[in-house]
Structure 1
Amino acid sequence: MRNSLNSALRPRLAAGAIAIACAALLCAGAHTASAATPAAAAAEQPVVAVQTVRVQRAEIAQPVRAYGIVAASASNLTTVNLPYTARIVQMRVQSGQTVTRGTPLFVVQADAAAVLAATQAKSAVTLAQGELTRTQSLYDKGLATQSQLASARKAAADAQQALAAQNQTGVANGNKIVTAPNDGVVLQVSAAQGDQVQPGTAILQLAGGSGKDARANVMLGVEPADAAAIHAGDIVTLHGLSTSLAKTSANGHVALVGASVDQQSHLVDVGANVPLGQTAFIPGTRVSADIATRNGTHWIVPRAAVLKDGKGAYVLQITPQNKARRVAVTIQVENGERYGVDGALDAAQGLVVSGNYELKDGMAVRTSGGAPR
């Protein structure tokens, strides 16, 4: 019977031993897995590949695009005419010609009546002066009254004023050469050789374009929302709209900014003074222009480097420990693919321009070349 009991217990003891052994193995495996977890987690921490550029502070401006025409400002046009009737003897210039101050424009011959009026004015002065001298002599001898002397003096003064008025007209006997009053371009010739022109009739128009004065020689139109940022003195860069002038440009400055919206174009007029004497921008040329506004010194960063979220705009820089550092920025200027921003940037740290969408503050990074940065 004892043998029988032992036979019954043996299978139970063996099963128990096996269970204990399995439990021990499971505990050992769990301990090993637990010990390996920190190392595995550290090994699996993501390292983002990025591309960086250097950042620096420099001057940057926000361009405002405008469109207009050369020499369209009335303040820049000079109409050449005569205050007396005359005949055009010879025309010395033609439309489109560039002239300087003093360049002969045309030759005229005053009308006979105008010459006669000028001659009579000179004779009247001579006569009045003689009468004044004679009356003064009689008055000194007691042979003329005070009233007569006053009348003689007034007649002499009136004759002098009439002569001065005739001299201002520039009437001369014979041919006279009329010269350009200022530098510019002959915009329009309204008279031809042999024409009889009346006083005040436009003979030709000059469009100033030498850049030697501060008058506007280019009129541009800008959107009303952009006009407030434009001020006199802002730099203007003209560009040609035609195919032949596509690569041509000229620089100048804003001379005036309109204070109202044009009812026809619904734009605000901006006048610019641009030296055009040696350029292909002749009067009447239609142009586009970039006006540099809000000029200032800021951090210059590529547009791709700036991200935005609920906390505002920010960029990411790489610390010496190869970690991403979030820097809040304020966008001050937009210029094409560049921003001018203010913020606590470090010029010694790389600025992330590619891969920044995958980054968070403090994440490990490496450059696209493989070396941590």
Structure 2
Amino acid sequence: MNYDTPVQAEDGAYSSEAYSSHEPTKGRGKLWLVVAVLVVLLLIIGAAYMFVTRGNAAAGDAETEAQGAAITVISPGKTTVEGEIVASGTLAARRELPVGVAGEGGRVVRVFVDAGSWVKQGQVLASIDRSVQNQQAASAAASVRVAESEARLAQANLDRALKLVERGFISKADIDRLTATRDTAVARVSVAKAQANELTARNARLNIVAPASGLVLERNLEPGQIVGGGSGALFRIAQGGEMEMMALLSETDLAKISTGVEAKIVPSGTDKSFTGQVWQVSPTIDPQTRQGTARIALSYAPELRPGGFANATISSGTAVAIVLPESAVLSDSEGAYVYIVDKENKAQRRAVQTGAITSEGVSITGGLDGTEAVVVRAGGFLNPGETVRPQRADKAGK
């Protein structure tokens, strides 16, 4: 007993010590188990939330895809617009005067003007050597004086004879002869004067003069040059400095304008515009190009240079038409077209005929009646039959 009792006490001491060393380990294990369960629950809840969210998003996308893309449309109606025709052409002098040699010509002595000079009617532009002609004129003047002397002598002889005929010293026949001599002398004076005047006029034609006031456009003459009747135009003058634009128009556009309508001209190389009026509409159409010419009168300006290129915007009156924003009108190899949205919200292509381009947009002359829902923009990204969600916008908000 005494042997066993220490043993039991020893065993009891061992058991108590063993319990105290394993109890904390067991508590920590339970704690980790609880944490693990909570993490799993959170993961399950997160996965469920993401699944539901993605499902809703997919449903929303499917609904949006079923409805189509949002597209802005407009019902343009009809409005009164100022008709305009845009054309191109060349600038020229309204009345161009070619100036050449009027007389027999000769060697140019002096040129008084250059291209760009303003001249007056009758102003001498150039002079030609006239040394030979001056001698001929002097000879003709001398012939006039001789003829006048002979005429005076013949008149004096006749006067003396008339005084003597009363006394019977001169017969009637002598009087007739002296009268004829006097008349012949007077006629010779007239012939001599006519010849002298002719030479004077010929000499005057050796001066090259301006036939009218205006602006010298070309000078094709230099001192020392030999000129004659076959030398062609030595100067070109714009009468009054007036210019014009010769605008080329299709026969359809040509029929829309008349003389007196206003036009805006913008020469190439400048952004400055000039106002003119159509003063002549071509009565014929070129059978090759199917075009005619509208001549637009312009006042002189340094920017208007004959031979230059220019663009014209010609007024063609008012008209009632459909006007669309430029973004709504598309074009390809088949021509101009727009997209309209039908009652089933499907985009449909519609061919149109376009007219003048104004500050408000492009006028439509055919293909629409104004009540359609026309796609304002992004029409280039649509396909015929594609479903869209039309959003209407008033005309001012286009």
Q: Do the aligned residues in 2 keep the contact of 1:219 with 1:270 (CA within 8 Å)?
A: yes
Does structure 1 residue 336 correspond to structure 2 residue 357?
yes
Within the candidate set 226, 230, 234, 1:196 is matched to: 226
SS at match of 2:248: strand
Residues 249 and 122 from structure 1, CA distance in 2 versus in 1: closer, same or farther, beyond 3 angstroms? farther
- Which stretches in structure 1 are left out of the alignment for 5+ residues? 1-48, 306-333, 341-354, 360-366
Name the residue aligned to 1:207: 237
Deviation of residue 179 (structure 1)? 6.1
Residues 286 and 66 from structure 1, CA distance in 2 versus in 1: closer, same or farther, beyond 3 angstroms? closer
Residues 300 and 230 from structure 1, CA distance in 2 versus in 1: closer, same or farther, beyond 3 angstroms? closer
Within the candidate set 248, 251, 255, 1:221 is matched to: 248
Q: Do the aligned residues in 1 keep the contact of 2:140 with 2:195 (CA within 8 Å)?
A: yes
Q: Do the aligned residues in 1 keep the contact of 2:118 with 2:216 (CA within 8 Å)?
A: yes
Aligned mates of 1:226, 1:170 — CA distance in 2: 53
Q: Do the aligned residues in 2 keep the contact of 1:88 with 1:197 (CA within 8 Å)?
A: yes
Deviation of residue 76 (structure 1)? 1.6
Residues 98 and 132 from structure 1, CA distance in 2 versus in 1: closer, same or farther, beyond 3 angstroms? same
The letter for the 2-side match of 1:278 is A
Write out aligned runs for 1:33-52 (5 A): none
Residues 195 and 299 from structure 1, CA distance in 2 versus in 1: closer, same or farther, beyond 3 angstroms? closer
Does structure 1 residue 271 correspond to structure 2 residue 271?
no
Q: Do the aligned residues in 1 keep the contact of 2:119 with 2:214 (CA within 8 Å)?
A: yes
Aligned mates of 2:148, 2:284 — CA distance in 1: 57
Q: Identify the structure with the greater helix proportion.
A: 2
Residues 227 and 161 from structure 1, CA distance in 2 versus in 1: closer, same or farther, beyond 3 angstroms? farther
Write out aligned runs for 1:133-144 (5 A): 133-138=152-157, 141=162, 142=175, 144=177
Name the residue aligned to 1:83: 103
SS at match of 2:120: coil
Within the candidate set 182, 204, 215, 1:184 is matched to: 215
Tell me the TM-score normalised to structure 1 length.
Answer: 0.52
Name the residue aligned to 1:36: none
Deviation of residue 67 (structure 1)? 1.9
The letter for the 2-side match of 1:357 is E
SS at match of 1:336: strand
Name the residue aligned to 1:236: 263
Aligned mates of 1:147, 1:221 — CA distance in 2: 72
Output one character per residue of 1:112-143: Cα deviation in whole Å (capped at 9) or x when no partner. 22222333343344344444444455555435
Residues 148 and 219 from structure 1, CA distance in 2 versus in 1: closer, same or farther, beyond 3 angstroms? farther
Residues 170 and 239 from structure 1, CA distance in 2 versus in 1: closer, same or farther, beyond 3 angstroms? farther
Write out aligned runs for 1:323-362 (5 A): 335-337=356-358, 356-357=371-372
Aligned mates of 1:196, 1:100 — CA distance in 2: 24
Aligned mates of 1:262, 1:134 — CA distance in 2: 73
Does structure 1 residue 287 correspond to structure 2 residue 317?
no
Greater C-alpha radius of gyration: 2
Aligned mates of 1:86, 1:301 — CA distance in 2: 66
Deviation of residue 144 (structure 1)? 3.9
Matched length: 259
Name the residue aligned to 1:117: 136
Deviation of residue 163 (structure 1)? 3.6
Name the residue aligned to 2:279: 255
Deviation of residue 208 (structure 1)? 0.8
Residues 150 and 232 from structure 1, CA distance in 2 versus in 1: closer, same or farther, beyond 3 angstroms? farther
- Which stretches in structure 2 are left out of the alignment for 5+ residues? 1-72, 163-174, 326-354, 364-369, 375-391
Q: Which moved more, 1:201-210 or 1:102-111?
A: 102-111
Q: Do the aligned residues in 2 keep the contact of 1:99 with 1:186 (CA within 8 Å)?
A: no
SS at match of 1:116: helix
Residues 250 and 185 from structure 1, CA distance in 2 versus in 1: closer, same or farther, beyond 3 angstroms? farther
Write out aligned runs for 1:33-182 (5 A): 60-63=82-85, 65-71=87-93, 75-95=95-115, 97-101=116-120, 106-138=125-157, 141=162, 142=175, 144=177, 148=181, 151-171=184-204, 181-182=212-213
Q: Identify the structure with the greater strand proportion.
A: 1
Residues 105 and 136 from structure 1, CA distance in 2 versus in 1: closer, same or farther, beyond 3 angstroms? closer
**What fraction of aligned residue pairs are identical, expressed as a percent?**
15
Deviation of residue 266 (structure 1)? 5.2
Deviation of residue 50 (structure 1)? 7.6
